[in-house]
Chain A
Amino acid sequence: MKRIGLIVNPIAGIGGRVGLKGSDGAETLRLALELGAVPEALQRGTSSLLPLSSMGHAMELLTFPLEMGETSARDAGFTPTVIGEIRAGATTAEDTSRAARQMSALGVDLLLFAGGDGTARDIWRAVRPQFPCLGIPAGVKIHSAVYATNPRHAGELAEMFLEGRARLREAEVVDLDEDAYRAGNVSTRLYGYLSVPYRALLLQNQKAPSPASEALQTAAIGAAVVEAMQPGVLYILGPGTTTRAIARQMDVPKTLVGVDVVCDGNLVAQDVNQSQLLTMIETAPAKIVVTPIGGQGFLFGRGNQQIGPEVIRRVGRENIIVVSTSDKLNALRAQPLLVDTGSPDVDAMLAGYFTVITGFAERTVYRVAS
């Protein structure tokens, strides 16, 4: 008997349709409801469950009461097991986290959640590491890579995962600082990773071997970077699962969401900020190793702002090593990688073509735009 957990953040995305950005914060919520906004997350929760109805009695659906999942479940034709308590009409981020914590403790096979970046962060805070989760998109602008492309796709992926036909990979939880955003300042943080199912290959009649798993690809990339490392050079490793694989190859710890510096096979600084980096690169030659963060393909400016424009300028474009799995690049659908360092000059310097390491002996040349 498989068990799925469902958590709906009823206020996710509520501002979007009425022209407000994001929905966190009680003030925005009040404004949105005044403007006639309707909670869309519930309906998206329902849509996502439809592909799962074919599983019938082989599946138990656990959810929180009323607008936090029960309503969506019943609308999709399920008879859910309802756990926990809420104050109807006044749910908060804390309720999301509490629900996630309970589901994690109960050990459901997969936790589905409907919301946006904020919801992803709430879930991430609460669940144990490597706990399988999957997002049903209901937010306005989603930077986290933990979401399916649409609600139905989430349901299909969930079904495939329960039937053992999908793998798990780690995907970034990225959240926008809401207040700063509305004040006109873009600032994001990479919070961490959730384990998310992704679509395994279904095809039989291949004429070529299929690509290796993500874990093997990142390990291969790591090995390639490590092999080419030069003595006496500082390597500034940005956040990301691919850069973490580099650290693994070297057998050094890596700050999951921060920037670390290695040199001559050793860790020399952990979780540094921009001013620390500026000091360090005065003393030795340096290279930057980065990988695109989040679902939007940002190379700089989303989740790795510690590597600021001044650092980039001094290190020099030719000393930037870009790494990425080919899956991540394919997902960009021929759109360029993006940079938003905060300095238009540095952005312009970065624009153009970069060689991207995609495997041990595999490269690609990809366009970067500002």
Chain B
Amino acid sequence: MIPKKPVVYPYIPNSNPIVKREMLNAVGAKSVDELYAEIPESIRLKRKLDLPEPFLSEASLVRHVESLLAKNQSTRENLSFLGAGCAQHYVPAVCDEINSRGEFLTAYAGEPYEDHGRFQSLFEYESMMAEMLNMDVVNVPVYDGGQATSTALRMAGRITGRKLALLPATTAPDKLSQIRDYVRPDVHVELVAFDPATGLMDLDALGRQINVQTAAVFIENPSYLGFLETQASEIGTVAHEHGSLFVVGVDPISLGVISPPVEYGGDIACGDIQSLGIHMNYGGGHAGFIATRDEEAFVAQFPSRLFGVATTSVEGEYGFGDVAYERTSFAVREEGKEWVGTAAALWGITAGVYLALMGPQGMVEIGRGIMQRTRYAMQRLAGLPDVRVPFANTPHFKEFVVDFNRTSKTVTEINRALHERGIFGGSDLSREFPALGQCGLYCVTETHTQADIGRLVSAIQEVLA
């Protein structure tokens, strides 16, 4: 039998036994085991970890992992109409080029000197988002849109000193779950009913529920269900009349054609930037933003980092750094130091690249085109017998509800049949919104052609027959 020679690992340069010996001599130890002297015997693991056999050669590793990935079918092989907060948009090649550069990919928390590029590119992301939102303060990204919303609501609580937040009943239950868990020590969440005919918020209910304890009224525009809240301005007025803040969640890719929240009274804007040049990554492509006016009372409440621009000792040079780093952020009673952690900076840089590539005209065109395709799909599906598109009279952006209650099939059955035809049908809303019954949430983006939509319509027609 050939004796096993010790492995020198490519990722571990000092696993080379000659080097190891030199280093042990330098620290005056006979073996590495001596270096663990402080760990008591009682908690030492006395056996080898029981892990699968490794693939030491890179080639065999790739083969193994690719064999696992081969068991996936993606939205490349299937025609997908799935959305619900994670959307299939086209990712320009330059976006992936930049976020795969090792200087960005493998950096972390250096100073604004040796990591000047990171500071400038994130400052530029903040700045471009600011133009989309018409607001002067945008943060370095947080984990995802749900986190951004949760933090925005807590910020509203801190700024107003109040404890109640009113959210639309059309908010995704998953997002609600995340928000509730996060805000519960300081903010209580109540839902405001929607008009079943239009999907819009029931303003009478809002009027009844809002009171002097309301820190924030929150809407999503577009809603989780895809329609635009055309009463946004009135809702903002109601909020302000009661001294509450108006917090609005938006999809940034819509802001080329849809007014940003500040135009209709929004005080804090928030949302997810996944639609801006970031692949879906099975849910790993999310990043959240929060934006406000440039007022000390608001800036002081951001728990995230805010990169700012400044001069240096050399004329004409831009330096960057953290704004209000010592911000005496939190109201005395709520020192809830929401944390600053590793969140999603690389996606912020990527979104900046996307916005720079698209430019003003691109964002207008893509927004217009998405609305056209969405409306077209709604029309074609509404044309199918027994299929309804509720809320059809309200303008929509990118997503819409399709009602199959009058058909003989459940959404589960329809989607299974669609899958057999290579199509991912809209997600099943029946569990999330039982009152809606057998409804699906369909998402149409600039990646869908007329033929794609036609193929969906034919397939559904076939399935329902």
Q: Write the residues of chain A forming the contact surface with B, with a CB cutoff of 8 angstroms.
A: 200-201, 203-210, 212-213, 215-216, 219-220, 223, 359-362
Contacts and interface: CB of A to CB of B under 8 A. Distances in A.
Interface residues of B, number: 25
Contacts of B341: 207
A223 B332 contact: yes
Contact of A204 (B111, B329, B337): B111
B112 A204 contact: yes
Q: Lowest 4 A-B CB distances belong to which pairs?
A: A205-B109, A216-B328, A220-B332, A212-B328
A16 B314 CA distance: 48
Nearest to A245: B332
Contact of B326 (A207, A213, A359, A362): A213
B111 A362 contact: no
B110 interface: yes
If over half of B's interface residues share one DSSP class (helix, strand or loop), that class is named, otherwise mixed; here it is loop
B71 interface: no
A201 B336 CA distance: 21
A207 B340 contact: yes
B188 to A, nearest CB: 19
A210 B325 contact: yes
B226 interface: no
Pick from A204, A205, A216 the residue with the most CB of B within 10 Å. A204
A219 B332 contact: yes
15 contacts: A201-B325, A201-B326, A203-B325, A204-B111, A204-B321, A205-B115, A206-B109, A207-B109, A207-B340, A209-B327, A210-B326, A212-B328, A213-B326, A360-B332, A360-B333
B335 interface: yes
Contacts of B335: 212, 220, 359-362
B339 A209 contact: yes
Given A207-B109, A208-B339, A216 B332 contact: yes
Given A212-B328, A213-B328, A216-B328, A206 B333 contact: no
Contacts of A220: 332-333, 335
B386 interface: no
A29 to B, nearest CB: 45
A199 to B, nearest CB: 12
A361 B336 CA distance: 8
A201 B325 CA distance: 9
Interface in B99-142: 109-112, 115
Interface in B78-113: 109-112
A55 to B, nearest CB: 15
B340 A208 contact: yes
Contacts of B332: 216, 219-220, 223, 360
B426 interface: no
A223 B109 contact: no
B322 interface: yes
Contacts of B261: none
Pick from A201, A209, A212, A213 the residue with the most CB of B within 10 Å. A209
B110 A205 contact: yes
A208 B303 CA distance: 9
A204 B339 contact: no
Contacts of B433: none
B111 A205 contact: yes
Nearest to A205: B109
B457 to A, nearest CB: 51
Interface in B310-367: 321-322, 325-330, 332-342
B326 A200 contact: yes
B325 to A, nearest CB: 6
Contact of A209 (B111, B115, B340): B340
A203 B321 CA distance: 9
Contacts of A200: 326
Nearest to A219: B332
Contacts of A359: 335
Contact of B325 (A204, A207, A360): A204
Contacts of B303: 209
A204 B322 contact: yes
A219 B333 CA distance: 9
Contact of A206 (B115, B330, B340): B340
A201 B112 CA distance: 16
A219 B331 CA distance: 10
